[in-house]
A and B are shown apart, each in its own frame.
Chain A
Amino acid sequence: MTTTNLQRPVRAPGRSQGIEDNPAIPVRVIKGVVLVLCCVVVIVPFIGVISTSIASQAHVTNSGGFVLWPDGINLDSYRTIFNGGVVLRALGVSFVITIGGTLISLVGSTMLAYALSRPGSFGQRPMLMIVLFSLLFSPGLIPNYLVVKQFGLLDSLLALILPTAISGFNVIILRAFFMGIPDSVVDSARIDGAGDFRIFWSIVLPLSRAVLAVIGLFYAVGYWNAFFSAMLYISDTAKWPLQLVLRTYVVNNTELSSGDLGGAGADQLPPQESIQMAILVVSLVPILIVYPFLQRHFAKGMLTGAVKG
């Protein structure tokens, strides 16, 4: 039979009331108000973006271009952008880059990190130094461009993946996680006749699902949000990812023509602001959908990787 100690822990003498203690009601109220305010500050712009994207022409006009709460639901903007044209094409490109890039990055990073986590691997020290060096010094815009050009990657989607495929920061986190896997587990596998790849694939990776989920999300968000490299390396507008379209038409406020939107009749085009906000929503949704599924791995994946070195 188990017993539960219901006694409150004794606070160390001289120690101030910490967040683990039960604070007084006024403090709780203040904390609550502050947290609610923080939430409002974060949520209101989202509501505004969604509201504007589904508001009617008249409401957008009367509200000065930004609707906080719509008077009805009008999905014309979404119908327009999913009618074909630049947004739908860019969405496809973004999915290809994000999925392909994340796979390449995870494969490369995990293999590198595993090699760096095993003492005695060939070239371990110099390779680790190179990874650490990349954390401190970045190559800069123009050298990066020259390298991409020299590899013949200009105007290729690979230019959006390969230069950022391995992140030194993520490799260090992965390495720290892999170092936490007991040597005895690896040694047992080796005694059973497993080679390095077998150990990596069948032992290490299954034990590292949490950190893989977190690092995968980091990479995916990075690829999904990247617009600058596309702006530099991609001349063919058919290969533009969604974020560059977003930047061109929302941030730089370039006018969208009906042809850009898959041939919606010019007279039936929803207001420009609604279309811009609909593009914004479309660019947010995939990451918002993926995030909750990976959230449970976050604490474990990040902390394990972060506190060991």
Chain B
Amino acid sequence: MISRRTLLGGSLAAVATAGGLSGCATVTRSTDIAALNRPVALPTYKRFDGPKPDLPRSHPLMPDCFYRFPDRPVRTTDGSPGDGSDISGTAPTSNPIPPTADRNPYWQELNRRLGSPLALTISSAADYPNKFATSVAGDTLGDLFNVDSAFAYLPQFLEARAQDLTEYLSGDAILDYPFLANLSTESWRGCVYSGGIRAVPIQRGVMSTDLLLARQDILDKLGVELGSPDLDELVKVARTVTDEKKKRWAFAVPPRWALSAMLGLPRDWEVRDGRLVHSWELPEHKEMLVITQQMASDGLIHPDGVAKHNQKVWFSQGSAVMTQDTYSSIQSFYRRSVVKEFAITIPVVRNAAGKTGRVLLGKPNNSIAAIKPSSPERTKMLLGVLNWMAAPFGTEEYLFRKFGQAGRHYTLNGTDPVLTEAGQSEVCLGEFPIQYLADGGYPVYFPGHPEAVDMAYAHLEAVLPTAVLPSTYGLYSPTESTKGKVFTSRMDALTKDIQLGRAKPAAWDEAVADWRKSGGDAIRHEYEEAMSAQGRK
């Protein structure tokens, strides 16, 4: 029964919206770029002394590569990180939503191991921004929450609503949390706002790099050699494999990232001649649009590939011979495969000079996760929980986190865990949403497919020496934060129009001029100021 007091409170709740955000009154002004980008001593990186990778780490950015799960994984923590009190959280997921804790033995065991009951609000990743915004307003994010990186005025939000973790994590202080200390320095840059460490990274490293993936089994069947193609060779292969009558197209989507590597384009911003330039401004970007338009008009791209992105399905089913996705997607493609001979290859693309195309590495982090402002004791406890969730590959904690309990959730194929039916559902295909609150570094490990590990390793070895990290990662631009999404969707819409032949490539110049005037130049200026503030220039 709703009491009179509740009724009155509910009626007044709408009026209280502004009041709920009153904490923002003391945060950094959005015009103070230097203060918003003030650096802080990043956490000390200390590599966890875990199982030795099966392949050597030939480059500092090379992830650990494993053919199979280490035999007899060791438990590396004592006791439980929790203190018995309830812990709540909010996280997105791109995987099946798990059954609720009362119907989920994995979740119940997770609570037992954490030493505190964990209540999670889970939304699908596509809906997460809406859920996040309303949860911010309603103050229902909980103790631990994944942060929507596109949330406007993010530094100010984190200042007001997230615990400043600097004193707990900066420098050597992080060594109290050895699994968090095992996360790369580059990934911590994305957690610093307004001169403080405000979150922990959900690190993906180079595994989130966008690449051209090809169906080796289909190429073999057709007797086509893809090799290490330049633009002409790629188009030639595309023409050979495309057969509209058999409903088979070369590309699931316009191969933007392969073309960017061939043409030497940056992902977005890049310092050239001492000045930041955006990919959109470069003549090669327009060239890329013309190339993809030609590919689309020649019927080399899946008919729905420009307008609608369902590339995972088309690639898995063989309607598209090549697609664009990440190293970490490889396992999901093997899982979705509908033919036994399914095999993927990642071609090392070459530029016009015949050299390895410069690959644009993905952002170091998938996202970041923050802690609600709490007492020092509770903050330490919550950091302990996040540390537990970041246990690295090869540990017993990792095995439980990703695969659940032996027998019920997984069986062993050699030393590789294979999810059972209950495991698929209760552990969400091995990606239970706590992985969006904290996670260890992603290894190159595709259980049951050691050949895919070799293939990914060979590709990484070839491209890492010339690959580039996003140059503005860890920098904050207020204009980008408030208007960036609109600019991106506008330019994306024009890109599609050009690729579909609904707009002329010449329209691009006008759009870029408009973008520069309405905010692009301001973003450039803010990023340059931010770089100065962080001493990156």
The residue on A at minimum CB distance from B302 is A64
Tell me whether B94 and A254 are in contact (CB under 8 A): yes
Interface residues of B in 80-108 (CB under 8 A from A): 93-100, 103
Tell me whether B14 and A146 are in contact (CB under 8 A): yes
Tell me whether A145 and B10 are in contact (CB under 8 A): no
Q: Which residues of B contact A257 (CB under 8 A)?
A: 96, 421, 424-425, 428-429
Known A61-B317, A146-B16, A254-B96: A259·B422 in contact at CB below 8 Å: yes
A86 to B426, CA, bound (A): 12
Interface residues of A in 227-250 (CB under 8 A from B): 228, 231-232, 235-238, 240, 247-248
Q: Which residues of B contact A121 (CB under 8 A)?
A: none
Q: Which residues of A contact B314 (CB under 8 A)?
A: 64-65
Known A141-B134, A142-B134, A232-B134: A255·B95 in contact at CB below 8 Å: yes
Pick the contact of B310: A65, A149, A258 (CB < 8 A).
A65
Pick the contact of A151: B6, B312, B318 (CB < 8 A).
B6
Tell me whether B100 and A150 are in contact (CB under 8 A): no
Residue B137 at the chain A interface, CB threshold 8 Å: yes
Residue A263 at the chain B interface, CB threshold 8 Å: yes
Tell me whether B317 and A146 are in contact (CB under 8 A): no
Known A65-B310, A65-B314: A149·B122 in contact at CB below 8 Å: no
Residue A253 at the chain B interface, CB threshold 8 Å: yes
Residue A60 at the chain B interface, CB threshold 8 Å: yes
Residue A143 at the chain B interface, CB threshold 8 Å: yes
Instruction: Render A77-113 as a binary contact track against B, CB cut-off 8 A, 1 for contact.
Output: 0000000001000000000000000000000000000
Residue B282 at the chain A interface, CB threshold 8 Å: no
Tell me whether A65 and B16 are in contact (CB under 8 A): no
Minimum distance in angstroms from A27 CB to a CB of chain B: 33
Minimum distance in angstroms from B54 CB to a CB of chain A: 27
Residue B121 at the chain A interface, CB threshold 8 Å: yes
Residue B25 at the chain A interface, CB threshold 8 Å: no
Residue A282 at the chain B interface, CB threshold 8 Å: no
Tell me whether B134 and A272 are in contact (CB under 8 A): no
Q: Which residues of A contact B93 (CB under 8 A)?
A: 254
Residue B127 at the chain A interface, CB threshold 8 Å: yes
Instruction: Render B278-320 as a binary contact track against A, CB cut-off 8 A, 1 for contact.
Output: 0000000000000000000000001000000010111001110
Known A61-B318, A61-B338: A145·B137 in contact at CB below 8 Å: yes
Tell me whether A252 and B310 are in contact (CB under 8 A): no
Tell me whether A147 and B97 are in contact (CB under 8 A): no
Residue B228 at the chain A interface, CB threshold 8 Å: no
Minimum distance in angstroms from B105 CB to a CB of chain A: 12
Residue B537 at the chain A interface, CB threshold 8 Å: no
Tell me whether B14 and A149 are in contact (CB under 8 A): no
Q: Which residues of B contact A238 (CB under 8 A)?
A: 99-100, 103
The residue on A at minimum CB distance from B134 is A145
Pick the contact of A254: B95, B99, B137, B140 (CB < 8 A).
B95
Classify the interface of chain B: helix, strand, loop or mixed: helix
Name which of B7, B121, B127 has the most chain A CB atoms within 10 A of its CB: B127
Residue A48 at the chain B interface, CB threshold 8 Å: no
Residue A76 at the chain B interface, CB threshold 8 Å: no
Q: Which residues of B contact A254 (CB under 8 A)?
A: 93-97, 124
Tell me whether A154 and B140 are in contact (CB under 8 A): yes
Tell me whether B16 and A147 are in contact (CB under 8 A): no
Pick the contact of B97: A65, A145, A248, A253 (CB < 8 A).
A248
A266 to B428, CA, bound (A): 14
Tell me whether A149 and B426 are in contact (CB under 8 A): no
The residue on B at minimum CB distance from A154 is B140
Tell me whether B421 and A265 are in contact (CB under 8 A): yes
Instruction: Render B126-139 as a binary contact track against A, CB cut-off 8 A, 1 for contact.
Output: 11001101100110
Name which of A150, A247, A260 has the most chain B CB atoms within 10 A of its CB: A150
Name which of A57, A139, A232, A252 has the most chain B CB atoms within 10 A of its CB: A232
Residue B29 at the chain A interface, CB threshold 8 Å: no
Residue A3 at the chain B interface, CB threshold 8 Å: no
> A-B pairs with the 6 shortest C-beta distances?
A259-B425, A143-B14, A64-B319, A257-B424, A150-B10, A146-B13
11 sample A-B contacts, Cβ–Cβ < 8 Å, listed by A number: A62-B247, A64-B319, A141-B130, A146-B14, A146-B137, A150-B9, A238-B99, A255-B95, A259-B96, A259-B426, A260-B425
> Which residues from chain A sit less than 8 Å from chain B, CB to CB?
57, 60-65, 86, 139, 141-147, 149-152, 154, 228, 231-232, 235-238, 240, 247-248, 251-260, 263, 265-266, 271-273
> Which residues from chain B sit less than 8 Å from chain A, CB to CB?
2, 6-7, 9-14, 16-17, 20, 93-100, 103, 120-127, 130-131, 133-134, 137-138, 140, 247, 302, 310, 312-314, 317-319, 332, 336, 338, 421-422, 424-426, 428-429
Known: A141-B130, A232-B130, A240-B97. 17 other contacts (CB 8 A): A64-B302, A65-B310, A143-B13, A146-B13, A147-B11, A149-B140, A154-B138, A237-B99, A238-B100, A253-B310, A257-B425, A258-B425, A259-B96, A259-B424, A259-B425, A259-B426, A265-B421
